[in-house]
Amino acid sequence: MTSNVQNLVNRAEVLMEALPYIRRFHGATFVIKYGGHAMESAELKASFARDVVMLNLVGIKPVVVHGGGPQISELLERMGVKSRFVRGMRVTDEKSIGLVEMALQRINQEIVALVARQGAKAVGLSGKDGGLMRARKLRLAPAAKDGESRSVDVGLVGEVVEVDPSVIHTLHQANFIPVVAPVGYGRDGLTYNINADSAAGKLAAALKAEKLILMTDVEGIRDQSGALISTLASARARKLIARGVISAGMIPKVECCIDALHAGVQKTHIIDGRQRHAALLEILTRCGVGTEVVGEQPRVSRRLRTSARRAGAPSRRAALGSPAGEGRASDGQAPEAGDD
C-alpha cells in the first residue's frame, strides 16, 4: 500500500472513530467558551469556525460564548482609557463599559461572519438580548493586607444570577448557531461586564448542556509532576486547588467546571485553543487532547483506555492538525482570569 493510500485510510479511521460520538451526541447542546490565542490567529479563527459548523451539521447544537480581553484592552488604550485589573478582574467604570460593549460587539459580528463563511447560519447576541442573562454587581471578598481588611470595588463587573435560555432554544429550533457576548443587565438597569468563563458555565447549566468546553492557552490541567491530566474528578480537583497544584488563572476555570457539573452539565472540558480543531479532537475521539473535568472519577482514565491502540495507528493531532503557533505554557496553568 502506498503512503498516499495509507494516509487516506488513516483519515477514514479517524472519521469512523468519530461515528459513535456523533450518534451519541446527536441533538445534544454544547456550550463552547471561545477565547485566548484562538481569537487572534487567522488560521485558528477559521479552524474554530469550521469545527462549530461541523458540530452543527452532525446534529449537535453548539452555543458559542466569547471573551475579548486583549481586544478590549486595545480599544481602551486607543481611546485613552487605562486598563486596571484587581485580582484578575478588569475594573469597569461607566466610561469604559460602553467601550467594552463596543469591542465585544465587534468580536461577536466577526464570529458570526466566520461561521457564515463556512456555510452555516449564526446569530450574534449578548446577555442583554431576550433577557438571556440577568446580572448583579460582583462583590469580591475583602482582601487582607497588613492585618487589615479592605473592600474591593471593580465597578460594573457582574455575576450572573439568572438565565432565561428561551432565545437560545428559539435559535436552535431554526437551526441558527447562537454567538453570545458576555454582558448582562442588572435589576438596577445598569449594564455589567461578565467573565466569559462564568457566563458560559451559567448558560450551560441553564440549558442542561451535555458539555461545557472552555478554550484557553494551555493544554489542560497538569498534576504535581507536570503530567497532563486527561480525566479529573471534581473532588480531586478541589484537593489540587487546596495544595496549590492548580493555581493562578486556572482556579476560576476549574471552579466554573465544578459548578456547572453540580448544576447538571454532564461533562466539562478545558482544552488548548492554540491546537487546530481542538474542539473536534476533544469531543469526537477516544483520547481527547485536553482535560475533562467530571463529577466522579471513572475506573479507567480515557487515556489508559486508548493506550493499547494498535501500533502504527495515526496520531489524532497528526490526522486533524498539529498545534498552530509556538511557545506552549510549561506549567499547565491558565493566564490570570479576566474578561477573556
Are the C-beta atoms of residues 216 and 35 closer than 8 Å to each other? yes
DSSP string, 202-225: HHHHHHT-SEEEEEESSSS-B-TT
Cell of 189: 438597569
Strands 89-90 and 291-294: unpaired
Q: What are phi and psi of 86, to 5 degrees?
A: -130, 115
Query: Residue 255: CB partners within 8 Å, gap ≥ 6?
Result: 241
Residues present in the chain in total:
340
Are the C-beta atoms of residues 183 and 192 closer than 8 Å to each other? yes
Q: What is the pLDDT along the chain (340 residues), one digit of tens a residue?
A: 678 888 888 888 878 889 999 999 999 999 999 998 889 889 999 999 999 999 999 999 999 999 998 899 999 999 999 888 887 778 999 989 999 999 999 999 999 999 999 999 999 999 999 999 999 999 876 655 555 556 678 899 999 999 999 999 999 999 999 999 999 999 999 999 999 999 999 999 999 999 999 999 999 999 999 999 999 999 999 999 999 999 888 998 999 999 999 999 999 999 999 999 999 999 998 878 899 999 976 655 555 444 434 344 444 444 444 444 333 333 445 544 455 6
Q: Identify the pLDDT of residue 12.
A: 84
pTM over 0.75: yes
Place of cell 454587581: 137
d(CA 308, CA 310): 6
Cα 217 versus chain centre, distance: 10
Are the C-beta atoms of residues 261 and 295 closer than 8 Å to each other? yes
d(CA 243, CA 169): 41
Domains, in order of start, for the chain: 3-320 (3.40.1160.10)
d(CA 168, CA 280): 22
Are the C-beta atoms of residues 222 and 307 closer than 8 Å to each other? no
List the one residue out of 326, 181, 334 whose CA is nearest residue 257.
334
Q: Identify the pLDDT of residue 144.
A: 55
Are the C-beta atoms of residues 177 and 31 closer than 8 Å to each other? no
d(CA 263, CA 202): 9
Other C-beta atoms lying within 10 Å of the C-beta of residue 129: 17
d(CA 195, CA 338): 6
Are the C-beta atoms of residues 290 and 254 closer than 8 Å to each other? no
CA dihedral defined by 217, 280, 32, 120, rounded to 10 degrees? 120
Cell of 174: 431554526
